[in-house]
Amino acid sequence: MMLLHKLQALDTEVPDLDSLKAHLQVAVELEMTTLPPYLCALYSITDGTNIEAAGLIRSVMMEEMLHIILAANVLNAIGGSPVLAKKGVAPEYPTTLPQSDGAFSISLQPFSRAAITSFMRIELPTPVDTPPETDDYDTIGQFYAAIKDALVRLHKAKKIRFDHHPERQVDPADYYNGHGKVIQVTDLESALQAINEIMDQGEGTSKSIYVKGMSKDDLGYHLAHYYRFWEINAGRRFKAGDTTASGPTGNLLPVDWSASANMISNPQSGWYAPGDPRRDMMDKCNAMWKEMLRALEDGLNGKKDRLVRAVPFMLELKKRAKSLMNVPSGIAGTMLGPSFEWPEE
Amino acid sequence: MSKRPQSTEEEYDVVIVGAGMSGAIVALELAKAGKRVLILEAGRALSDDEEGWQSAVDYFYTQVAKVPNSPYPPTSSAPQPDVLQYQRIKDGIPNSSGYWVQRGPQSFGSDYTRTKGGTTLHWLACSLRMLPNDFKMNTNYGVAMDWPIEYEDLRPYYELAEYEIGVACDADAYWLPGGDPKTHWKGYQYPMKAIPSSYVAKRFAEKAKGLKVDVLGKDYTIRVTPTPQGRNGMPNPDYVPPAKIKKELEEARKYTPYKPQGAFNDPMRGERCQGNANCVPICPVQAKYSALRTLHRAERYHPSGGSRYVNIKTQSVATRIVRNADNSRIDHIEYLTYQQDLGPTVPGIAKGKVYVIAAHAVETAKLCLMSGVANSSDQMGRNLMDHPTMLTWGLMDEPIWPFRGPGQTNAIASFRDGPFRSDHSACVVPIDNWGWIWGTFAPGSTVGQMIGEGKIGRDLRQSLANNVSRQFTLQWELEQLPEARNRVTIDPNYLDALGLPRPVINYSISDYVRRGMETAFNVSKKIFKHVGVADQTFYNPANMGYLEFNGKPYEFKGCGHLVGTHRLGSNPENSVTNSWLRTWDHENLYLVGCGAMPTWGTSNPSLTMAALAYRAAESILRDLNKEKPLRL
């Protein structure tokens, strides 16, 4: 099921605890949806080129991973169990995401202007005054606003507690690479903080280019995701004083659109018969994706040492994905790439 | 025709020569106290941004011989030693083929890096504290000289240094000779949990468990202990930062027990060691501390949006420290700035209230000797030391899979202290995690040898897998004592491209160290036999560090630890500075760096150097604020 359908299946009134848990599980899946496209773009960049652009994509990706952890911490605290390693949890590509001006498709594709444009679409800020809707979610912002609303409402009605599985809370010792911080959820306040962190860091708002609570004086990535991708698209950095209206007018950000693997969009392992070496390579890459998601899922469900194991799996996944980008697909001179499919048992 | 030197536009509170770890720490501490600082750095800033760092990594990959300075090519305007130019000194003829002139009788095997960030760019980041007995070598063992301060005096500064570097270790598991860790550390915890032990070290520790060896009639149990490492691992929730740091963090509303510092240019990178296994010479993900982190924080430091407090001028070679008329104070420092390698230079003058030379042991001594300052004791440049390192290697009776993780994660600490120190060197013995690479250039040499034996194809691959996976090395890093004859001097016959003196090195290995090698070699035999290592150690008489003792062959290598050239001490006769690193001769001149240590046992020197830098910064601040100087 595509993510859009998962969102549509949710009850936007979030009447009870079960519905809230379902929402938070979809939040985990929503954040996961962005990882494979960002990884494809990042891994496709020719080594030693597009260094600044790669750094920006990587920074967004790191924050998406933090968001998975934050959503999982809230879900665990209210008594749920985050699921990552199951067919259908991670989408197959191309997939569809909602946005205020209509649903749109996301593909696995190499670093290119088309890819960056689609990333801007993913991260497009929600107009600040869009209220939660009653029938369907049109924007991700509405979806998270509904979660916050439900947390407050159900807490007030004494229908939820935040003290489940404290041992499952991921803390800074387990995860700390990136801006923002892991928030351990123990009460309503920390739960709302965690959701706010996801919202502030990701979409930002349509009024300010900065992550809420940060300014130009902070080192590193103080821009909301949309504006980081805008920098790549424009080939310029934002500078102090720039606004959402001015766009980036700072230093040049050199981008070499040709310095990336000529990877085919949305490759599928099923294109190749079993026994074909290309099939074998794609299966091995998918197996590592599965292995990594299993380690993460275990890690988010109380087996903390499995989080450490996920690290070498991520490095191995990168190696296998990059190797595929050197293998001709046999279609119009393109190369293969990772397909992020859930391998059959 | 040379131009008349121009003074810099501004008079600073403090002028520092050298943008390495000590200079960085002093600069940051002073900036925090609102002082304005100029740092003159002779080298370039090649790896000072994302692109520069990546090109250093790439450049390193392309080098055939992977030596410590491989990623950091020198400039002829500020040359640096290159270990590939060191060679065995024969018939007393000095080796002047590189930047250094080596007069022998032994070749000094270590080097340093002249660049922004200094030698921390290539260090392994082992961050051992000195042992309490290391400060009292004369009292305890009748050799060398005591420090005027004790371990307890330095302890608070060690804690500051461990915070800044970000040291990962398990204090409770840390074994010290003669000490129970619990009483030694008094509840102290390192900022981060220990980096996981390499499989090599784990298997070795299991196999060596319970083994006792006799040294001079006393039994020593082989104890394997975690090596404190300046590389990022998991933050330790039980860590409590020093009170001063805690206060700063709380005021900035950023308090957390420990937040690892990422890469200097990208906080989203470098927050955890990934086991890339080329810590020396460059950590591609910057999980390893380098002074660039401290330097960038110092450069950014500008409270409440005001102008910045620390200005770093790279490619600016200090050429003379100039005294005032009555010799009691330094008046200014002259320097030359170059734009490109061997290009024309522009002279400049840097003025401050206090001057700090933090240019690494050899360059600091060289600059002082060139300037005729701080040498009424005649100790300047003398007592040059290293940890002469003897390797023993062999094949383990099972695969131990070297090359996974940092160069060392554990070491044998049993011989770091003991009554034998009256007779011969103490040593720390890292369980090397990089196979035989240091001893034999394996695995490259293993491939060559097997092809020479006629192996090809599958047979070659299988033989390699069987052999390389079992390659095991112990590194016997031996304590060296201060000796007046081991020294840095200058000679007008040997000048660099700017016309400045090149360091001239006299170096010898005493019988104290040779007896240490003899003992180590015998202990190694016993250990290898016990743990199942087939000894393959071979010392080639053609090698640079080959020597003989009591008719037996040995070989030492440089450990990268350059210490002792401007030692601190209790009085102006036996030393160059007091324990706050202020020179006895000039009241506003401080010499900060590894050169300050009169003895240093078996600890890698950088952590103690960093601790001393914090001490110096404290004293400089008192001087600037016209407070009463501190005693000791």
Question: Which chain B residue has its CA at the smallest distance from A59's CA?
Answer: B268
- What does B64-87 look like in DSSP terms, one character per residue? SS--TTTTS--BTTB----GGG--
- Partners of B51 on chain A (C-beta within 8 Å) are 51
pLDDT at A215: 53
- Partners of A51 on chain B (C-beta within 8 Å) are 50-51, 54
Distance from CA of A306 to the nearest CA of B (A): 14
Q: Which H/E stretch holds residue B163?
A: helix B151-165
Whether A175 and A27 share a structural domain: yes
Mean pLDDT value across residues B67-74: 90
Strand ranges of the sheet holding B6-7, from the earlier edge strand across to the other edge: B6-7, B345-350, B330-338, B316-323
CB contact under 8 A, B272 and A48: no
Would you call B214 an interface residue with chain A, using a CB distance cutoff of 8 Å? no
- Partners of A174 on chain B (C-beta within 8 Å) are 234
Q: What amino acid occupies position A9?
A: A
Identify whether the C-beta of residue A50 lies closer than 8 Å to the C-beta of residue A111. yes
B147-199 pLDDT, tens per residue? Answer: 999 999 999 999 999 999 999 999 988 888 877 777 778 889 999 999 999 99
pLDDT at A139: 75
Mutate to test the interface with A, among B234, B268, B272 (most CBs of A within 10 A): B268
* pLDDT reading at A100 higher than 80: no
Tokens describing residue A184: 């351990």
Q: For residue B432, give the 3-state DSSP assignment.
A: strand
pLDDT greater at residue B400 or residue A128: B400
* pLDDT reading at A136 higher than 80: no
Distance, CA of A10 to CA of A202 (rounded, Å): 22
Q: What phi and psi, each to the nearest 5 degrees, are found at residue B624?
A: -65, -35
Handedness of CA B578, B584, B588, B592 (dihedral sign): negative
Using CB atoms, pick whichever of B234, B236, B268 lies closest to residue A178.
B268
Whether A238 and A323 share a structural domain: no
Identify whether the C-beta of residue B565 lies closer than 8 Å to the C-beta of residue B365. yes
pLDDT at A129: 58
Mutate to test the interface with B, among A60, A201, A219 (most CBs of B within 10 A): A219
Distance from CA of B38 to the nearest CA of A (A): 23
How many contacts, defined by CB atoms under 8 Å, are there between A and B? 50
Mean pLDDT value across residues B54-58: 89
Mutate to test the interface with B, among A169, A176, A256 (most CBs of B within 10 A): A176
CB contact under 8 A, A52 and B274: no
Whether A121 and A38 share a structural domain: yes
* pLDDT reading at B1 higher than 50: no
Mutate to test the interface with B, among A46, A47, A51 (most CBs of B within 10 A): A51
CB contact under 8 A, A219 and B51: no
Domain boundary pick from A260, A284, A305: A260
pLDDT at A260: 97
Distance, CA of B285 to CA of B404 (rounded, Å): 15
Predicted confidence band at A327 (pLDDT cuts at 50, 70, 90)? very high
Q: Which domain holds residue A34?
A: 3-260
Distance from CA of B558 to the nearest CA of A (A): 34
Each residue of B352-362: b (16+ CB within 10 Å) or e? bbbbbbbbbbb
Whether A117 and A31 share a structural domain: yes
Distance, CA of B543 to CA of B549 (rounded, Å): 16
pLDDT at B131: 95
pLDDT at B274: 85
Whether A325 and A295 share a structural domain: yes
How wide is the angle at C-alpha B118 spanned by C-alphas B116 and B121, nearest 5°? 100
Tokens describing residue A217: 């004086």
Whether A38 and A160 share a structural domain: yes
Q: Which H/E stretch holds residue B248?
A: helix B243-251
CB contact under 8 A, B268 and A315: no
Using CB atoms, pick whichever of B50, B55, B260 lies closest to residue A176.
B260
Tokens describing residue B563: 């210490």
Query: What is the three-state SS of chain A?
Result: CCHHHHHHHCCCCCCCHHHHHHHHHHHHHHHHHHHHHHHHHHHHECCCCCHHHHHHHHHHHHHHHHHHHHHHHHHHHCCCCCCCCCCCCCCCCCEEECCCCCCEEECCCCCCHHHHHHHHHHCCCCCCCCCCCCCCCCCHHHHHHHHHHHHHHHHHCCCCCCCCCHHHCCCCCCCCCCCCCCCCCCCHHHHHHHHHHHHHHHCCCCCCCECCCCCCCCCCCCECHHHHHHHHHHCECCCCCCCCCCCCCCCECCCCCCCECCECCCCCHHHCCCCCHHHHHHHHHHHHHHHHHHHHHHHHCCCCHHHHHHHHHHHHHHHHHHHHCCCECCCCCCECCCCCCCCCC
A230-287 pLDDT, tens per residue? Answer: 999 999 999 888 888 899 999 999 999 999 999 999 999 999 999 999 999 999 999 9
pLDDT at B2: 45
Question: Which chain B residue has its CA at the smallest distance from A175's CA?
Answer: B234
Distance from CA of B292 to the nearest CA of A (A): 15
Residue B603 half-sphere exposure, CB side, CA atoms within 13 Å? 28
B380: region left, alpha or beta (phi > 0 left; psi from -120 to 50 alpha): beta
Whether A11 and A127 share a structural domain: yes
Domain boundary pick from A212, A241, A260: A260
pLDDT at B256: 79
Identify whether the C-beta of residue B129 lies closer than 8 Å to the C-beta of residue B158. yes
Mean pLDDT value across residues B22-34: 96
pLDDT at A214: 59
CB contact under 8 A, B268 and A176: no
Residue A72: which of A30, A34, A27 has the closest Cα?
A27
Place of tokens 């197996």: A287
Q: Which of residues 282-321 of B touch A (CB under 8 A)?
A: 300, 305
Q: In total, how many domains does chain A have? A: 2
Q: Which residues contact B263 (CB under 8 A, 6 or more apart)?
A: B53, B269, B270, B285, B286, B293
B79-126 pLDDT, tens per residue? Answer: 999 998 899 998 889 999 999 999 999 999 999 999 999 999 999 999
Would you call B259 an interface residue with chain A, using a CB distance cutoff of 8 Å? yes
Mean pLDDT of all residues in chain A?
Answer: 88
Mean pLDDT of all residues in chain B?
Answer: 93
- Partners of A46 on chain B (C-beta within 8 Å) are none
Chain A residues at the B interface, defined by Cβ less than 8 Å, are 48, 51-52, 55, 58-59, 62, 171-174, 176-179, 217, 219-221, 311, 315
Count other C-beta atoms under 10 Å from residue A285's C-beta: 27
CB contact under 8 A, A179 and B274: no
> Complex ipTM, two decimals?
0.79
Residue B385 β-bridge partners: B563
- Partners of B54 on chain A (C-beta within 8 Å) are 48, 51
- Give the strand pairing for B330-338 and A104-106: unpaired
CB contact under 8 A, B300 and A311: no
pLDDT greater at residue B184 or residue B283: B283
Using CB atoms, pick whichever of A171, A217, A221 lies closest to residue B268.
A221
- Partners of A177 on chain B (C-beta within 8 Å) are 262, 268-269, 271-272
Question: Which chain A residue has its CA at the smallest distance from B262's CA?
Answer: A177
Q: What amino acid occupies position B483?
A: E
Tokens describing residue A188: 């309503």
- Partners of B193 on chain A (C-beta within 8 Å) are 173
Tokens describing residue A114: 């088309």
pLDDT at B3: 53
* pLDDT reading at B319 higher than 70: yes
Q: What are the distances in angstroms from CA A258 to CA A111, A113, B524, B599?
A: 9, 10, 57, 58
Q: Which alpha helices (DSSP H) does B307-456 contain, by range?
A: 361-371, 437-440, 444-452
Distance, CA of A3 to CA of B555 (rounded, Å): 66
A149-208 pLDDT, tens per residue? Answer: 999 999 999 999 999 999 999 987 787 666 677 899 999 999 999 999 888 876 656 667
CB contact under 8 A, A173 and B237: yes
Whether A229 and A342 share a structural domain: no
Identify whether the C-beta of residue B116 lies closer than 8 Å to the C-beta of residue B19. yes
Strand ranges of the sheet holding B12-17, from the earlier edge strand across to the other edge: B310-313, B37-40, B12-17, B352-357, B589-591
Mean pLDDT value across residues A292-304: 95
CATH number, residue A237: 1.20.1260.10
Q: Among A101-105, A140-144, A213-217, A295-299, where is mean pLDDT lowest?
A: A213-217
Residue A195 half-sphere exposure, CB side, CA atoms within 13 Å? 24
CB contact under 8 A, A176 and B58: no
Residue B557: which of B432, B411, B448 has the closest Cα?
B432
Residue B336: which of B81, B44, B42 has the closest Cα?
B42
Whether A215 and A290 share a structural domain: no
Start-to-end C-alpha separation, chain A: 19
Domain boundary pick from A244, A260, A276: A260
Whether A12 and A80 share a structural domain: yes
pLDDT at B44: 96
Would you call B238 an interface residue with chain A, using a CB distance cutoff of 8 Å? no
Helix axes A225-234, A113-122, angle to 10 degrees: 160
- Partners of B300 on chain A (C-beta within 8 Å) are 219
- Give the strand pairing for B101-105 and B504-507: parallel
Distance, CA of A215 to CA of A158 (rounded, Å): 38
Whether A114 and A166 share a structural domain: yes
Q: Among B178-187, B324-333, B488-497, where is mean pLDDT lowest?
A: B178-187
Distance, CA of A201 to CA of A179 (rounded, Å): 9
pLDDT at A218: 53
Whether A227 and A306 share a structural domain: no
Burial of B255 from C-beta contacts in 10 A (0-12 / 13-18 / 19+): middle
CB contact under 8 A, B50 and A52: yes
Q: Find out whether the peptide bond into B443 is cis, omega within 30 degrees of 0.
A: yes
Residue A301 half-sphere exposure, CB side, CA atoms within 13 Å? 12
Residue B506: which of B49, B27, B104 has the closest Cα?
B104
Residue B312: which of B50, B23, B53 has the closest Cα?
B23
Distance, CA of A116 to CA of A108 (rounded, Å): 12
CB contact under 8 A, A220 and B266: yes
Place of tokens 């131990």: B400
Would you call B266 an interface residue with chain A, using a CB distance cutoff of 8 Å? yes
Q: What are the distances in angstroms from CA B627 to CA B26, B33, B618, B632?
A: 18, 14, 11, 16
CB contact under 8 A, B267 and A179: yes
Would you call B50 an interface residue with chain A, using a CB distance cutoff of 8 Å? yes
